Amino acid sequence: MEIHELSIQGIRQALVSGQYSSHEITGALLQRIAEENPRLNAFVTVTGELALAQAKVADSRRARGEQGPLLGVPVAHKDIFCTRGVRTTCASRMLENFVAPYDATVIRRLQESGMVMLGKLNMDEFAMGSSNETSHFGPVRNPWNPARVPGGSSGGSASALAARLVPAATGTDTGGSIRQPAAFCGVTGLKPTYGRVSRYGMIAFASSLDQGGPMARSAEDCALLMDAMAAHDPLDSTSHAQADGQFYAGLDRSLEGLRVGVPEEFFGEGLDPQVAEAVQSAIRQFEKMGARIRKVHLPNNVHAVSTYYVLAPAEASSNLARFDGVRYTRRASCPRDLTDLYTRSRYEGFGPEVRRRILVGTYVLSAGYYDAYYLQAQKVRSLIREDFRRAFAEVDVIVGPATPTTAFALGDKSNDPVAMYLADIYTIAVNLAGIPAISLPCGFDRSGMPVGMQIMGNYFADEQLLAIAHQYQLQTGWHLRSPGQQGRG
């Protein structure tokens, strides 16, 4: 097996056995990135020299007897996490040349575990998008079919994983931005319980919804990443006091007696029949493994998209107000006065989708509309949380499709924002409720594009979700397939 085909677990074993050094693995992946990234545009910044230097340090630590599970394993980060000395752009012209003076907590924790940073990954601008077409640096392409999108906003992470440019990546999920691209690219991605992974140093989109998480080829690999990522952080006021857990150690759980809920609302109009069949087949596999299947209802999921697109833009309009051209962001040239500076800096710095959401958010927060839109959306958010509370009184987890279709063509929804927003119809409610969910591959459509299944759990059931996904992946091989190499299904 070639180095780039190794998973995190495979690299870990190769390092322990001495088959490869971290320096050799890092060099091989940097070469693959140089060959494949021009076609996919998954990376914004490649940190080759830094990666090789970190790999040498990791090899030295291992030679001294250290045996950390991630020591010497390469990773790439979504370009929304601040990295000291390396630019953090959020895929925006506004931050095109911004270099943070500090590391995000996620970056720091993974560095302390000994991981090697290969670079920063492309994304939708300020994480606002479902196709990775809003990036200032151009769209990312899906390795399974470069004419199709990889999903968004963590599209660079998913594309790089599927193309075997990296064995591990970080992502963020505000309304499905880990799970949707994971589904479109045939990889595994976990949106943790809100507050389980620190948001410190993660540039904010919608603070009550944003959550960082791991993306990898398998649930087993995601569990290894979560062991390093999840912990209480006093620098993040929303970080939970008991955020850490035993993610990898908890993978060996039987599905015998597991109560699996299937929401009827996820299998209605708008769902591609091929996606439905793949997910239903996965549910039958759960039943063979000892799970008990029953129907559940999430009646307010129909309102999730409209609720999200009131609340998320409202928070974005507040969070992005700081980007005004005065300090570290892009600054308009030769402004006539302060108003001209603000106006032109923001118009020139933000792309159309970001401007659209700022305008929507400002509108729903304005006098005369706050009660009619923002306050009503918060009430519906409470109803959505209540739907999940009732469902989890009857079942342990909820299973359904991650997306209504497989990856669509580049440009297919670019001129229809509503159609684009509906690509997240099955993922958004999870963020509104703050619960964890994982997306993993469960089949392919007739055109050869991956299908993703979503497993949702109650608060702090992250370990359970990873274990269920891992047990499923032990019995199936959808996650083993790659665009350049077919595995068993």
Which contiguous run of DSSP H or E holds residue 455? Answer: strand 450-457
Task: Residue 485: name the closest of 141, 67, 1 by CA.
Answer: 1
Confirm if 201 and 153 have CB atoms less than 8 A apart. no
Which contiguous run of DSSP H or E holds residue 30? Answer: helix 22-40
Confirm if 185 and 94 have CB atoms less than 8 A apart. no
Confirm if 199 and 207 have CB atoms less than 8 A apart. yes
Round to whole Å and give the CA distance between 333 and 265: 51
Confirm if 149 and 419 have CB atoms less than 8 A apart. no
**Residue 301 in tokens:** 């999921």
153 is catalytic: yes
Confirm if 162 and 118 have CB atoms less than 8 A apart. no
- Tokens 């306050």 — which residue? 375
**Residue 278 in tokens:** 């793949």
Residue among 22, 92, 135, 177 flagged as catalytic: 177
Task: Residue 181: name the closest of 224, 227, 141, 222 by CA.
Answer: 141
Binning the chain into helix, strand and coil, the percentages to the nearest 5 are: 45, 15, 40
Round to whole Å and give the CA distance between 60 and 62: 5
**Residue 318 in tokens:** 């507040």
Round to whole Å and give the CA distance between 10 and 13: 5
78 is catalytic: yes
Confirm if 167 and 217 have CB atoms less than 8 A apart. yes
Residue among 22, 78, 154, 198 flagged as catalytic: 78
Phi, psi of 218 (to 5 degrees): -145, 165
The residues with which 142 forms a beta bridge, in sequence order, are 145
3-state SS class at 138: coil
Task: Residue 200: name the closest of 186, 210, 192, 191 by CA.
Answer: 210
Task: Residue 243: name the closest of 213, 215, 216 by CA.
Answer: 213
CA dist 163 to 33, 270, 467, Å? 9, 29, 25
Amino acid letter, residue 340: D
The residues with which 164 forms a beta bridge, in sequence order, are none
CA dist 281 to 264, 443, 476, Å? 16, 9, 11
Residue among 153, 198, 317, 345 flagged as catalytic: 153
Q: Catalytic residue numbers?
A: 78, 153, 177
